[in-house]
Amino acid sequence: MDEVSKSQIDRLGDRLRAGNIDDEDLRLLDRYRLSFSKAYEFVVRKIRDDLRYEPTGRPAKSTTSISEKLRRETIRLTQIQDIAGCRIVTPDMLDQVLVVGELEYQFKGAIIIDRRDTPSHGYRAVHVIVRHSGKLVEIQVRTALQHLWAELSEKLADLIDPAIKYGGGGEKRPDILDKTSEMVAEAENLEWELTQIPKEDRPQTVDSRVEEFKARLFDLLKARIEALTGK
C-alpha cells in the first residue's frame, strides 16, 4: 500500500461518496483494505492466543458500509477507524468490564470508546481502538443484551431505512428502539449494582427480580416486532 498515497485514497473516498465507482476503484479499495491485514491479524491472534477469547473477525469493512459512512459523516476515507475489526459478545456487563480491562492491558495506548453511558442513537457497547503498524483496528465488546439490541437496530435499518441505525428515519423509526435501549441500560445497571454486593448479603428476591425485568424486556420486544411484521 506504500505506493498509493493518502490523497489517492481520499479521492477514492470522494468517488465512493458520490456512488460513482468503476473496476479500478474497487481494486484500489481492495488494496487499501488489505493494507490493514497485518494489524488485523496481530490483534485477532493476540485476543485468541493470549486472552483466550474467540472474537468473530471482520478483516475488511464492506464497500456498501464504507460508502454509507462517507455519505453520512464529514470524514475522509483514510479517517475511518473501523476498516478492520472484530467483535466479542459477553454474557453480561461484569464480563464486559473484565474483557475491556484485559484488552486495555494487552494493547497499551488503546482508545476506549464507552457508549454505555452515552449511547449513540440507542447503541450501547464498548469499542476498543488499537493502533498497530500505523493502522487502526476496532474491537467491539458487547453484552448479549446490547448485542441483541444492535442486531435488531441493524435489521430494522436494512428492512426499513438505513438512517434508522443513526437516529434518523423520521416517522418510519420504530419507537421500540429508543424505549428498549433504555430498558437494556436499566436492566444491566441493576445487574451491575448487584454484582457489587456479595451474594450472601443479597436479598434472595433481588436476583429473580432482575431476571423478571429481562423477561419483560424480551416480551416487549417480541410484541413490538410482531406488530411491526404484522404477525
Distance CA 95, CA 74 (A): 35
CA nearest to 135, candidates 70, 67, 78, 86: 78
Judge contact between 115 and 96, C-beta under 8 A: no
Binding mask 85-114 for another protein (x = CB under 8 A): -xx-x-------------------------
Interface residue with another protein, options 18, 26, 197, 206 (CB under 8 A):
26
64 is an interface residue for another protein by CB under 8 A: yes
All three cell numbers of 62: 464492506
65 is an interface residue for another protein by CB under 8 A: yes
Interface residue with another protein, options 2, 23, 117, 171 (CB under 8 A):
23
For another protein, the binding residues in 151-180 under the rule CB under 8 A are 151-152, 154-156, 158-159, 162
135 is an interface residue for another protein by CB under 8 A: no
49 is an interface residue for another protein by CB under 8 A: no
Judge contact between 217 and 184, C-beta under 8 A: yes
Least distance to another protein from the beta carbon of 61, Å?
Answer: 8
Judge contact between 224 and 178, C-beta under 8 A: no
Binding mask 190-229 for another protein (x = CB under 8 A): ----------------------------x--xx--xx-xx
**How, if at all, do strands 84-90 and 126-132 pair?**
unpaired
Distance CA 135, CA 130 (A): 8
DSSP state for residue 55 in the 8-state scheme: P
All three cell numbers of 6: 493518502
By CB under 8 A, name the binding residues for another protein.
Answer: 21-23, 26-27, 30, 34, 44, 54-65, 86-87, 89, 147-148, 151-152, 154-156, 158-159, 162, 218, 221-222, 225-226, 228-229, 231
